[in-house]
Copies of this chain bind each other. A is one copy, B any other.
Amino acid sequence: MDHNKGMDDGALFVMDGIAASHDGMAPSGRKKFRKKNNDDINISELAKQVLAGSRLHLSKAITLLESTNKYHKEKGQELLQELLPHTGNSIRVGITGVPGAGKSTFIEAFGGKLCDMGHRVAVLAIDPSSSLTGGSILGDKTRMEELTRNPRAFIRPSPSAGTLGGVHKKSRETMLLCEAAGYDIILIETVGVGQSETIVRGMVDFFLLLVLTGAGDELQGMKKGIMELADTIVVHKADGDNVRSAKKTVAEYKQFIHFLQQATPGWTTQSMAVSSYENKGLDKVWDTILQFKEIGEESNYWYNRRNEQTTEWFRSMITDHLIDSFYGVPERKQQVKSLEEQILLGRLTVTQGVDQLFNKE
């Protein structure tokens, strides 16, 4: 064994424990130290601790999988492989919504309720534009304050920067680790910006869309494609003076839903009014999810979709690898750009451009 290996490549092993998962903002809340030797990472021991439900070790495991260090990455995969038989036993719920729809408030209230019922809830975020410091979940410290303190909940912000594909990969692996750690409900929040919803839809069993009252007005600003991803549309903030118009909006959505492609075969997209503030309608959301699961399990669609999602994940990672390797060659981007210019100027056909790129002339 080469005991200097760890020092040589300057590997930094971050102890990203409870403090970090509770407060992504404060570097002082983390303990960082250089391991004398990378081989110190005892995967069996770490797996045992994760399976035992140690939040500290779960955080450590996630950090290992998110690492860009080659040795850590391999160790992380080894760990994940060991934990695979213990994954899959959760209900995976995606949550999205227009800005201001109150996603964090909803997750705080809904997650808290589920914890009270005895569940263990992991909250993840997919938001490639944010990072630990500018994160949508932990950027605003006042958000999800109670859930953050709840011992039955585990909150993990979006992996810092990177491509959507990269964030996707990391979040999928984080989800599996959380399942191995005994979290039986995974809530994955995503901001309503284009592609990320499709990616989250490809990771979850059930997809929830949060909207506000006044469907007519709201609908105009919203990408309609998102509605066709949703298994349930929650008209949020149905409290106080809003109750009446929320009920009206629910009715409007119910009508509108019939004009949409259903997100899940065999399931009619639902619409319901919810007040996280007054704790109203959250039970109904949960009952709906359970009903959805029951129907899906009966028809086997639940399992088939998961297998399809995994296969699709594998296929898209292969494609990503091919594209990354191709564009990863120095000068390649410039080469493509210059061919692109010639094509746009009408000097080269697209096919000739591709042929030149792959030297097939």
Contacts and interface: CB of A to CB of B under 8 A. Distances in A.
A158 to B, nearest CB: 19
B311 A344 contact: yes
A25 to B, nearest CB: 29
Contact of A351 (B173, B223, B225, B344): B173
Number of copies: 2
Interface in A56-93: 73, 77, 80-81, 84-85, 87-88
A163 interface: no
B261 A354 contact: no
A172 B73 CA distance: 43
Contacts of A322: 319, 322-323, 326
Contact of A220 (B77, B172, B259, B323): B259
Contacts of A354: 314, 317-318, 321
A51 B279 CA distance: 72
Nearest to A313: B350
B318 A336 contact: yes
Contact of A357 (B225, B318, B355): B318
A11 interface: no
A88, A172, A310: residue with the most chain B Cβ atoms closer than 10 Å: A310
Contacts of A220: 258-259
A161 interface: no
A228 B228 CA distance: 13
The A interface, classified by DSSP as helix, strand, loop or mixed, is helix
Interface string A246-281: 000000000010111100000000000000000000
Contacts of A310: 343-344, 350
A151 to B, nearest CB: 29
A233 to B, nearest CB: 13
Contacts of A311: 340, 343-344
A80 B258 contact: no
Given A81-B348, A224-B260, 8 more contacts: A80-B349, A84-B346, A173-B351, A223-B261, A256-B259, A317-B350, A318-B357, A319-B319
